[in-house]
Amino acid sequence: MALSKFGIPRTAQHFLECGIEECERNCEFYCNPCHQRLCKQCSEEHLKSPENKTHVVVLYQQRKRQLPVEKCKIHPTKDVDMLCEDCQVSLCSKCATKGDHPKHTFVDLEAVYAEKFAVFEQEISKIHEYFLPTSQNLKKEIKKDSSEIKHFIDNIRTSMKTEGETLKSLVDTVISENMKQLDQIEQSLLEDLNTQDKTLDDYITYLNNLVKELHRCLSSTETQKLMSEKKPKIRSIPETAKPVTPGFIAGQYNKHDVTKLLGKIQVPNTKAEKREIRPIESIYNTTMKLTHKQMKEDRKKSDMKQTMFLSASVTKVRGFNVPGVDEVYHVSLDQSDILLISDREGNLVQTDLQGNVIQKIKTSGRGEGYHTVTPKGDLIFTEKGKKVINRITQDNNITEFIKTGGWRPLSIHSSHINGDLLVGMVSDGYEEAKVTRYNKTGKELQNIQRDNKGQGLYSYPRFITENINGDICTSDFYKGMVVVNKSGQHRFSYTGQKSGFDPYGICTDVLGHILVCDDNSKAVHLLDQDGQFLSLLLTRQQGVEYPRSVCVDDENNLYVGQDHTNTLTVYKYLQ
């Protein structure tokens, strides 16, 4: 099988084969001295051989990296396989016997190389899980800010144009009113002048008529008649008045006055606020930081065999019926050995490890993993119809803990790493799906919805859990099993070994294994934390017909619930 340069399968769906010739079983273990991949059976045979009795066989994920072959430049027939801790120089065993390193401490170069390899792998993991996602999120923020700035500036432009148009409208109104008033004054003045003009016309006519009359008197031949005529009294010239013209007082304004009316741009004088970058400690626990002293201590422990590994076979420990439920669709376990069991009819019961019912709650839950228990012992369950998450405290008070807005919460898991709540949800119309992280107080911290190509990761995330490395594992009705890292970056998906995969309950164990129920194969699938398929852990041969729920307790007991029966069965698969 093709591996990446870090030893991780390039295609997580395929399994790594045992390295023993003619053995085609799954590789689960690794012999560090031999650098040999081994299955469970071959590892046992390997250690039975007398020449291998001192060999160290570990889980494949915890293998020691093989040292590349490098010939000594001084002794070409010898391999460089030692490190002088005092000089920090790589050398061969023959160089170590020379006098250049008196009383110096020599260590196995392969062990140091493996440590360095692990450190660099961790740095690569940091880049992929923290630095790259954080940088990409900052780019998204910048793009969002650019869009918001454009929208904001456009709004200012619109406001400025509106102010200008408003002022223009007011100017037009004032000018129109002034023009109307001026027209009225003009009309009044002209009418008055016309009246004066007509009065003078009448007076002139009067004078002309008077002159004619006087000329007629003068032209008379009758002297006596002229003598008897009285002197005419000429009427006075009518009074007229000059028009009083209106005045115009020009507006007293300047650019500053117009700016006051229209407003002006306010240039910000505050310093730009730096974008918040999440500290790496929020992603990587400080306990994960390797110091030189810790590496030396780990080197001393490197020869110790693993005390826990997969058993060659699965052993049924016991089984018990759970009153109050018709089938066992989901199981949650708190630290006080109290089980929470639900069926697809909304029945949620609290029992002890013998199946004795402590309390029963009626919910609207169906065939999803809709309940969990916090490290403090509080019961959390979702109500997808009401779009809320409820909490039942230890004094049995039910309170509405979180409102999920336009999203229907399907599945929920309380993290044993930091107490966060991981919730699988679908939109109100079931068109979209996501996983949301809340802190212990119910504050929304993270939304995981799309991969780095913008494609939706989920369709109907009905069961959810968290692995020991912080990976979020969901069992999706349409997408199969989807695994993302703690930053929300897609790591891998799993859709079974053959055609058809119908996943239900999902959980992880102390070794990072992922266990998921599949109704299509009628089995519980076992994978490592990198998505490598290891085995069908439970099948019909072990009496598993319709697996629906899985849960592992602190003693590494595996609880399995099924459809069509309210029996909860306990198995041992680690030793």
Q: Comparing C-alpha atoms, which of 35, 21, 119 is closest to residue 69?
A: 35
Residue 552 placed within a domain = no
Q: Is 256 helix (H, G, I), strand (E, B) or coil?
A: helix
Query: What CATH number should be reported for the domain holding residue 52?
Result: 3.30.160
Residue 421 placed within a domain = yes
- Do 335 and 256 have their domain in common? no
Torsions phi, psi for 313 (to 5 deg): -145, 160
pLDDT at 324: 92
User: CA–CA separation, 501 vs 194, rounded Å?
Assistant: 105
DSSP 236: P
Maximum Cα–Cα distance across the chain: 185
Question: Is the distance from CB of 489 to CB of 126 less than 8 angstroms?
Answer: no
pLDDT at 439: 92
Tokens of 440: 């212990």
CA distances from residue 564 to 186, 317, 544 in whole angstroms, order as listed: 102, 21, 11
DSSP 207: H
pLDDT at 313: 79
- Do 150 and 18 have their domain in common? no
Residue 322 placed within a domain = no
- Do 529 and 388 have their domain in common? yes
CA distances from residue 172 to 169, 176, 258 in whole angstroms, order as listed: 5, 6, 15
Question: Is the distance from CB of 327 to CB of 564 less than 8 angstroms?
Answer: yes
pLDDT at 15: 62
pLDDT at 25: 86
Torsions phi, psi for 310 (to 5 deg): -65, 135
Query: What CATH number should be reported for the domain holding residue 522?
Result: 2.120.10.30
- Do 378 and 498 have their domain in common? yes
First to last CA, the chain: 28
pLDDT at 287: 36
User: CA–CA separation, 187 vs 280, rounded Å?
Assistant: 85
User: CA–CA separation, 237 vs 208, rounded Å?
Assistant: 13
- Do 275 and 358 have their domain in common? no
Q: Which residues contact 483 (CB under 8 A, 6 or more apart)?
A: 467, 471, 472, 473, 474, 490, 491, 492, 493, 494, 514, 531
Residue 511 placed within a domain = yes
Asked whether the CA dihedral 5, 8, 12, 15 is positive or negative, the reply is positive
- Do 10 and 121 have their domain in common? no
User: CA–CA separation, 81 vs 78, rounded Å?
Assistant: 9
The H or E element containing residue 189 is helix 132-218
User: CA–CA separation, 57 vs 64, rounded Å?
Assistant: 10
- Do 190 and 127 have their domain in common? yes
Check residue 293 and give left, alpha or beta (phi > 0: left; psi -120 to 50: alpha): alpha
The H or E element containing residue 133 is helix 132-218
Residue 568 has a CB neighbour count (10 Å cut-off) of: 24
Residue 364 placed within a domain = yes
Q: Comparing C-alpha atoms, which of 52, 90, 49 is closest to residue 71?
A: 90
Rounded to 10 deg, the angle between the 132-218 and 255-262 helix axes is: 120
Number of domains in the chain: 3
What is the strand order of the sheet 472-476 is part of?
461-466, 472-476, 480-484, 490-494
- Do 47 and 149 have their domain in common? no
- Do 160 and 261 have their domain in common? yes
Residue 36 placed within a domain = yes
| pLDDT by residue, tens only, the chain of 575 residues | 344 434 444 344 456 788 888 888 888 888 988 889 999 889 888 988 888 888 888 888 778 778 888 999 989 999 998 889 888 899 988 888 877 887 888 888 888 888 888 888 888 888 888 888 888 888 888 888 898 889 888 988 888 888 889 889 988 998 899 999 999 999 999 999 999 999 999 999 999 998 988 888 888 777 777 777 788 888 899 999 998 888 888 887 788 888 887 877 777 777 777 877 877 765 554 334 444 444 444 444 443 334 467 776 789 999 999 999 999 999 998 877 789 999 999 999 999 888 889 889 999 888 999 999 998 888 999 999 999 999 987 777 889 999 999 999 999 999 988 889 999 999 998 999 999 999 989 999 999 999 988 899 999 999 999 999 899 999 999 999 999 999 899 999 999 987 789 999 999 999 899 999 999 999 999 999 999 999 999 999 888 999 999 999 988 999 999 999 999 999 999 87
CA distances from residue 512 to 17, 412, 556 in whole angstroms, order as listed: 20, 19, 12
What is the DSSP annotation of 386-425? TTEEEEE-TT--EEEEEE-TTEEEEEEEE-TTT--EEEEE
Residue 102 placed within a domain = no
Q: Comparing C-alpha atoms, which of 15, 17, 21, 14 is closest to residue 30?
A: 17
Which residue matches tokens 């709004």?
A: 155
Question: Is the distance from CB of 354 to CB of 320 less than 8 angstroms?
Answer: yes
Long-range contacts of 192-198 (CB under 8 A, 24+ apart): 192/241, 192/243, 193/243, 196/238, 196/240, 196/241
Q: Do strands 533-538 and 523-527 pair parallel, antiparallel, or not at all (unpaired)? A: antiparallel
Domain interval for residue 382: 330-545
- Do 350 and 457 have their domain in common? yes
User: CA–CA separation, 549 vs 516, rounded Å?
Assistant: 8
Residue 513 has a CB neighbour count (10 Å cut-off) of: 20
User: Can you list the alpha helix ranges (DSSP code H) found in 99-131?
Assistant: 109-126
Q: Is 294 helix (H, G, I), strand (E, B) or coil?
A: helix
User: CA–CA separation, 473 vs 507, rounded Å?
Assistant: 8
- Do 41 and 140 have their domain in common? no
* Length in residues, the chain: 575
Residue 542 has a CB neighbour count (10 Å cut-off) of: 17
- Do 442 and 528 have their domain in common? yes
Q: What is the pTM of this model?
A: 0.54
Residue 8 placed within a domain = yes
